[in-house]
Amino acid sequence: MVKVLISKPGLDGHDRGAKVVARAFEEAGAEVVYTGLQATPEEIAETAVREKVDVVGVSLLSGAHNTLMPRVIDCVKEKEGMQDTVFILGGIIPQQDIPALLEKGVHGVFGPGTPLDAVTDFAFEQVALVKAEQLAEAALADMTNKSSNI
Amino acid sequence: MAEERKHTTLSGYELKNVYTAEDLNGEHMKDKLGEPGHYPFTRGIRENMYRDSLWTMGLYSGFASAEEANERFRYLIEQGQTGFSVALDLPTQMGYDSDDAMSDGEVGKVGVAIDSLADVEALFKGIPFEKVRQIRTTANANSIIMLAFYVAFAKKNKIDPNTIGFFLQNDILKEYMCRGAYIFPPAAGVKLSVDVLEYCGKHLPKWTPIAVSGYHIREAGATAAQEIAFTVADMTAYFDAAVARGVDIVSATSNSYFFLGAQMDFLEEVAKFRAARRVFAKIMKERYGVTDEEPQRLKIFAYTNGSAMTAEQPMNNIIRVTIETMAAIAGGIQTLATSSYDEALSLPTQEAVTISLRTQQIVGYESGITETVDPLGGSYAIEALTNRIEKDIWSLLAEIEAKGGAVKCIEEGFQQKLLAANAYKYQKSVDDGARTVVGVNRFKDEQPIECAAFSVSEEVAVKQKAKLAKLKKKRDNDRVQRALNAIKTAAEKNENLGEYMIEAAEAYATLGEICGVLKSVYGKYSPMKIY
């Protein structure tokens, strides 16, 4: 089962979208953990590790995304075993900020008006891709090991 | 397809094809309506309504530094705006100075950064107060500190604070329920709100000491009836606490407001404002034994709902705001803020905010809707909806009361669960096309969204921090420390903190310093994780 962390970093208290997305993931069959408001990037990373989540969803409407989103990504990726985490960002994110956010490691950015299925389907696909890559890498490593044993 | 379509209001009430006198229970209508300006105020709180004067027009504005916000305010006043809202940035709303680590990335973003009296001085520099009917602020958890900053500003400039129409939001309960800008736990939050009620009742009778807010409740997913019921329940929590403290309810609350949303369902919204006045009047009369009519009059500040704005085809939002404005005016409100068409994308640009003000002016001066009091009163559909919403408000109020009141219900997440469920249901209805949103799920454009978005530079934070460092060097730090100590002692003794806050403001203590002291006494609230 895919496990998703929905988080609200920073001081923004508008969490209608975060809650709706959390519920959508649950309805779509994922297990969901919600941080509540004002989660620091460190707290988000700790929860992500503790709960062993596949996806970290961040909701930001306050305009602080350029500061906070990269911090969340760095904090999570620093943790052992979290390098392949899928990051999705939702909220009011101006078009011109999106390329830089993708560059920094966000997999997908979803603005207002996005149907819920589009968010959950995207996240599930990304998780499947990550898992396929991990399997391929493991298989490759396995083969390399075997060949070196010969 | 036509047969399958459901005919419901935005809140989910099933609508009949046509309404007749039979839907109104005829003989009781006279009592339910009353006359304009008189109990139960269904038809409005004044006999002549907008013929005497139009509503106060003021937009949500404020961003970046006090200096930049000041320029926007002065521009809007020149354009005919008669009130304004000092939108505070998130660190200010939550008691952090601009140099606090928690403020990183947030300084000046969704409002203006106010760290101390020095920022208020810059914010109000050169503002022609005689042209301004109302200055609102989004202060809630810190409303008593904003009160102190404003009083200190007035005193220093030798202005009688009662000549400026300051309007405090001062509603902390809705923050725990849905908006999230809380600092202290609920009991302390309510205590500070009641301090403001008591202080204003005694010293600042012209101020609005509280605007109990349904707006944010609606934005979080409430139906029209829930919006009003939760607001009324919050109000009784404050008023009951004030009465228990021995505050004279009439002097403390007669200038209070409700801050409500104006949504897209035109008829339902008109009915909602009318039902809200009826419920409020009855509660003031029967629960608080208020016999004068003035304090029974519910004054409403309406704000067009931002959640109705779409990022897609943003110009369509001008039409949405017009419909919501018409609903608010036909519903008889006293103050209106209108959204800007680019609101789903960023803070408004100057062009967008000007059109938003023009929308109010066109409805006010050109539409003719203002010439008749309660213009839709007597419409079978409007009266039937008003009665229906009122009935649901009373039944929700009874439910909250039976569960132990607003505070207890919020602590248990009762309202939050209802709101989250509604918000999800709404999104599903848009996703599956049961509800049409033009440009979002029908009549879509294929090209990407393009709109000149407004953004606040990161330099604001740098400048704000430098200003703060300079202030801390320049001010009398011993005086600041004495004032902070006095606040601590008074808070521990559970005294009204008004006077102590004003002394601290005058000494140029910062918001963060004052909140730090209060946190040491009251503690800090940790968020709920309900979805």
DSSP string for B393-453: HHHHHHHHHHTT-HHHHHHHTHHHHHHHHHHHHHHHHHHTTSS--BTTTBS--SSPP----
Comparing alpha-carbon positions, the chain B residue that sits nearest to A111 is B311
Q: B220 and A96 in contact by Cβ < 8 A?
A: no
Q: Which among A24, A62, A117 has CB closest to B90?
A: A62
Q: For residues B297 and B91, what is the distance between their CA atoms, to the nearest angstrom?
A: 35
Q: Which among A10, A32, A95 has CB closest to B106?
A: A10
Q: Is B42 helix (H, G, I), strand (E, B) or coil?
A: coil
Using CB atoms and an 8 Å cut-off, which of residues 36-65 of chain A contact chain B? 36-38, 62-64
Comparing alpha-carbon positions, the chain A residue that sits nearest to B454 is A94
Q: How far is the CA of B92 from the CAs of B277, B316, B515, in angstroms?
A: 33, 33, 10
Helix/strand/coil percent split, chain B, to 5: 50, 10, 40
Q: How far is the alpha carbon of B105 from chain A, nearest alpha carbon, in Å?
A: 5
Contact B221, B426 (CB under 8 A): yes
Comparing alpha-carbon positions, the chain B residue that sits nearest to A39 is B527
Q: B109 and A16 in contact by Cβ < 8 A?
A: no
For B187, which DSSP code?
A: H
Q: For residues B374 and B270, what is the distance between their CA atoms, to the nearest angstrom?
A: 9
Candidates B362, B286, B293, B287; CA nearest to B321 is B362
Comparing alpha-carbon positions, the chain A residue that sits nearest to B450 is A95
Contact A69, A106 (CB under 8 A): yes
**How confident is the model at residue B218, as a pLDDT?**
98
Residues of chain B contacting residue A66, judged by C-beta atoms under 8 Å apart: 105
Q: How far is the alpha carbon of B509 from chain A, nearest alpha carbon, in Å?
A: 23
Best probe of the A interface among B415, B427, B429, B526, by most A CBs < 10 A, is: B427
Contact B76, B353 (CB under 8 A): yes
Q: Is A96 helix (H, G, I), strand (E, B) or coil?
A: helix
Using CB atoms and an 8 Å cut-off, which of residues 108-137 of chain B contact chain A? 109-110
Encoding tokens for residue A9?
């970093």
Q: For residues B136 and B13, what is the distance between their CA atoms, to the nearest angstrom?
A: 34
Q: Which among B110, B312, B424 has CB closest to A23?
A: B424
What pTM was estimated for this model as a whole?
0.94
Candidates B199, B295, B219, B195; CA nearest to B253 is B295
Cα A26–A31–A36 angle (5° rounding)? 80
Q: How far is the alpha carbon of B108 from chain A, nearest alpha carbon, in Å?
A: 10
Residues of chain B contacting residue A113, judged by C-beta atoms under 8 Å apart: 310-312, 437, 440
Would you call A22 an interface residue with chain B, using a CB distance cutoff of 8 Å? yes
Candidates B268, B292, B305, B349; CA nearest to B11 is B268
Contact A110, A90 (CB under 8 A): yes
Q: Which residue has the tokens 């606090």?
A: B100
Would you call B370 an interface residue with chain A, using a CB distance cutoff of 8 Å? no
Contact A93, B446 (CB under 8 A): no
Lowest mean pLDDT among A37-41, A145-149, B327-331, B506-510: A145-149
Q: Residue A55 is inside which H or E element, if any?
A: strand A55-60
Candidates B88, B123, B119, B122; CA nearest to B106 is B88
Q: For residues B198 and A26, what is the distance between their CA atoms, to the nearest angstrom?
A: 46
Would you call A11 an interface residue with chain B, using a CB distance cutoff of 8 Å? yes
Cα B369–B375–B376 angle (5° rounding)? 125
Using CB atoms and an 8 Å cut-off, which of residues 125-144 of chain A contact chain B? none
Q: A113 and B105 in contact by Cβ < 8 A?
A: no
A60-99: burial string, b at 16+ Cβ within 10 Å, e else: bbbbbbbbbbbbbbebbeeeeebeebbbbbbbbbbeebbe
| pLDDT tens, residue by residue, B81-124 | 888 889 999 999 999 999 999 999 899 988 999 999 999 999 99
Q: B453 and A6 in contact by Cβ < 8 A?
A: no
Using CB atoms and an 8 Å cut-off, which of residues 417-456 of chain B contact chain A? 419-420, 423-424, 427-428, 430-431, 437, 440-441, 448-450, 453, 455-456
Q: Which among B110, B427, B526 has CB closest to A20?
A: B427
Q: How far is the alpha carbon of B103 from chain A, nearest alpha carbon, in Å?
A: 8
Contact B255, B208 (CB under 8 A): yes
Terminal Cα distance for chain A, rounded: 38
Give the number of A-B residue pairs with CB atoms closer than 8 Å.
Answer: 113
Using CB atoms and an 8 Å cut-off, which of residues 54-93 of chain B contact chain A? 90-91, 93
pLDDT mean for each 10 residues of chain B (531 residues): 72 96 81 94 98 91 86 90 90 97 91 96 93 92 97 96 94 96 96 98 96 97 98 98 96 94 98 98 97 96 95 95 98 96 85 94 97 96 97 98 97 96 96 95 82 78 96 98 98 98 98 98 91 86
Contact B491, B483 (CB under 8 A): no
Q: How far is the alpha carbon of A81 from chain B, nearest alpha carbon, in Å?
A: 26
Candidates B114, B99, B110, B112; CA nearest to B71 is B112
Q: B180 and A12 in contact by Cβ < 8 A?
A: yes
Residues of chain B contacting residue A116, judged by C-beta atoms under 8 Å apart: 427-428, 431
Best probe of the B interface among A12, A16, A31, A93, by most B CBs < 10 A, is: A16
- Residue B3's identity, in one-letter code, is E
Residues of chain B contacting residue A7, judged by C-beta atoms under 8 Å apart: none
pLDDT band at A142 (very low <50, low <70, confident <90, very high): confident
Q: For residues A33 and A51, what is the distance between their CA atoms, to the nearest angstrom?
A: 8
Q: For residues B394 and A83, what is the distance between their CA atoms, to the nearest angstrom?
A: 54
Q: Which among A35, A62, A96 has CB closest to B529?
A: A35
Best probe of the A interface among B424, B525, B530, by most A CBs < 10 A, is: B424
Q: Residue B280 is inside which H or E element, if any?
A: helix B266-286
Q: For residues B396 and B174, what is the distance between their CA atoms, to the nearest angstrom?
A: 16
Q: For residues A44 and A110, what is the distance between their CA atoms, to the nearest angstrom?
A: 20
Best probe of the B interface among A5, A8, A12, A19, by most B CBs < 10 A, is: A19
Q: B310 and A113 in contact by Cβ < 8 A?
A: yes
Instruction: Please name every residue paired with B137 in a beta bridge, in sequence order, or none if there are none.
Output: B86, B168
Would you call B507 an interface residue with chain A, using a CB distance cutoff of 8 Å? no
Q: How far is the CA of B81 from the CAs of B78, B131, B234, B326, in angstroms?
A: 7, 9, 30, 18
Candidates B415, B334, B330, B335; CA nearest to B375 is B330
**How confident is the model at residue B407, as a pLDDT?**
96
Relative orientation angle of helices B350-366 and B66-78, to the nearest 10 degrees: 30
Q: Which among A11, A22, A94 has CB closest to B106?
A: A11
For B175, which DSSP code?
A: I
**How confident is the model at residue A146, as a pLDDT?**
75
Residues of chain B contacting residue A20, judged by C-beta atoms under 8 Å apart: 420, 423-424, 427
Q: Which among A24, A38, A113 has CB closest to B440?
A: A113
Instruction: Please name every residue paired with B261 in a beta bridge, in sequence order, or none if there are none.
Output: B303
Q: For residues B85 and B96, what is the distance between their CA atoms, to the nearest angstrom?
A: 20
Question: Phi and psi (nearest 5°) for B158?
Answer: 55, 40
Contact B304, B328 (CB under 8 A): yes
Encoding tokens for residue B440?
């979002």
